[in-house]
Amino acid sequence: MDPVTRLGVVGCGLMGSGIAEVATHSGIDVRVAEANRDAVETGRRRITASLERGVRRGKLSEQQRDQALTKLSFTHDLNDMADRQFVIEAVAENRDIKTDVLRTLDKALEDSAAILATNTSSIPIVDLAIATERPGQLIGMHFFNPVPVQQLVELIPALTTTPETVQRTRDFASQLGKQAIQAPDRSGFVVNALLVPYLLSAVRMAESGAAHPDDIDQGMELGCAHPMGPLRLLDLIGLDTAQAVAESMYEEFKEPLYAPPALLRRMVAAGHLGRKSGRGFHTYDA
Ligand code: 3HC
């Protein structure tokens, strides 16, 4: 099948902006939707800042940066996605919000063969698929943070997803330069099912006072060659996102190892969300 030339990305937070940026590097025309004008401007700044950083670090030429910017357009109206061949939803990890966005996109898309992908980390794909009129063309496409760096994409077909949709999404992942694995439609898929219990164990270890957060992180960085320790990684993911993912997994399996510890909940309540708020288990410059 022909490569995707017109992509839509809904949501321009950490994940959406990364997905949009990566797609522009593959020469794809990318339209990004955010909820309102302010959010559009924030999203635009986030992508531009990341491209600038690429230039500063010698990874992109100024010409490549400018080229990427010409491939991007922004909107706050989901109906502007009508001509897209493929749309990735990357809004907040909230079932109602995602369902709403996907239903609206489903109605807006002109091409009945267009694919809707969701970047949910933990919501069952089938629940989102059957909320639309195109359950065969809805699939999970789970990217990892930071998207420009992490090679992996998990492809998660729902029971309703057609083999053609899976193949087209696999081809699209290669077009983006990503490596795809197929994951089951179970909360947490493959990676979060393994990662989240580990991260929550680190929170419990800090919560109990058994070890200092710096020692927990250093232990895994220096002892196991992880690029960052579990508490630093939680700060990168966002404590609110991590809590939402853990809650979905707990709801699905009712296993105590997925239950968000009280410390995580209290930190989220206090607005200590990690890097994005400047403070989590560690502190960060603005
Ligand atoms: N955009 C583009 N490039 C970036 C980047 C970003 N946001 N952040 C880092 N990089 C690049 C840098 O340019 C640098 O490239 P270079 O070596 O070619 O110059 C390289 O990544 C390393 O960056 P830094 O030197 O600034 O910093 P570190 O060496 O500390 O690496 C890191 C930062 C890439 C975040 C690394 O620590 C890492 O890989 N951490 C683990 C991240 C991880 O596990 N992600 C998965 C999270 S789980 C998830 O997303 C699922 C969700 O559902 C919860």
Looking at the fold, whether 156 and 206 belong to one and the same domain comes out as no
In this prediction, residues 109-122 reach a mean pLDDT of 95
Strands 86-89 and 72-75: unpaired
Q: How far apart are CA 81 and CA 161, in angstroms?
A: 21
15 and 156 fall within a common domain: yes
State residue 77's pLDDT score.
95
User: Which of 17, 26, 122, 142 is the catalytic position?
Assistant: 142
What are the C-alpha distances in Å from 11 to residues 58, 183, 272?
Answer: 28, 23, 22
Res 100: pLDDT: 97
Q: Between β-strands 29-33 and 152-157, what pairing exists: parallel, antiparallel or unpaired? A: unpaired
Q: Looking at ligand 1, which residue's alpha carbon is closest to its atom 5?
A: 146
Residues making up the chain, counted from first to last? 286
Quickly state the pLDDT bin for 148 (edges 50, 70, 90): very high
Average pLDDT score over residue span 169-189: 97
Per the structure, the complete domain to which residue 88 belongs is given by 6-182
Going by C-alpha positions, the residue among 152, 153, 112, 169 that lies closest to residue 135 is 112
121 is catalytic: yes
Q: What is the largest CA-CA distance in the chain?
A: 57
In a shared domain, residues 120 and 213: no
What's the pLDDT score for residue 93? Answer: 86
Task: Say if residue 286's pLDDT is above 70.
Answer: no
Q: Which residue is associated with the tokens 């357009």? A: 73
pLDDT at position 229 over 90? yes
If you measure from the C-alpha of residue 146 to the centroid of ligand 1, how many angstroms do you get, rounded to a whole number?
5
Check pLDDT > 80 for residue 117: yes
Ligand 1 centroid to Cα of residue 205, in Å, is 25
CA angle centred on 207, ends 258 and 271, rounded to 5°: 80
Residue nearest to atom 36 of ligand 1 (CA): 227
Confidence of residue 252 (pLDDT cuts 50, 70, 90): very high
Q: 17, 50, 121, 122: which one is catalytic?
A: 121
Task: Among 158, 182, 206, give the residue marking a domain's end.
Answer: 182
In a domain, 188, yes or no: no
Dihedral over Cα of 35, 188, 28, 41: its sign: positive
Whether 16 and 107 share a structural domain: yes
Backbone angles phi, psi at 217, to 5 degrees: -65, -45
Confidence check: pLDDT of 1 > 90: no
pLDDT exceeds 80 at position 269: yes
Res. 226 pLDDT band, cuts 50 70 90: very high
Give the CATH number of the domain where residue 32 resides. Answer: 3.40.50.720
| Cα-to-centroid distance, 17 and ligand 1 (Å) | 15
User: Is 283 inside a domain boundary?
Assistant: no
Beta carbons within 8 Å of 153's beta carbon, 6+ residues apart = 141, 142, 143, 144, 173, 176, 178, 179, 180, 181
Do 222 and 173 belong to one domain?
no
The β-bridge partners of 283 are: 279
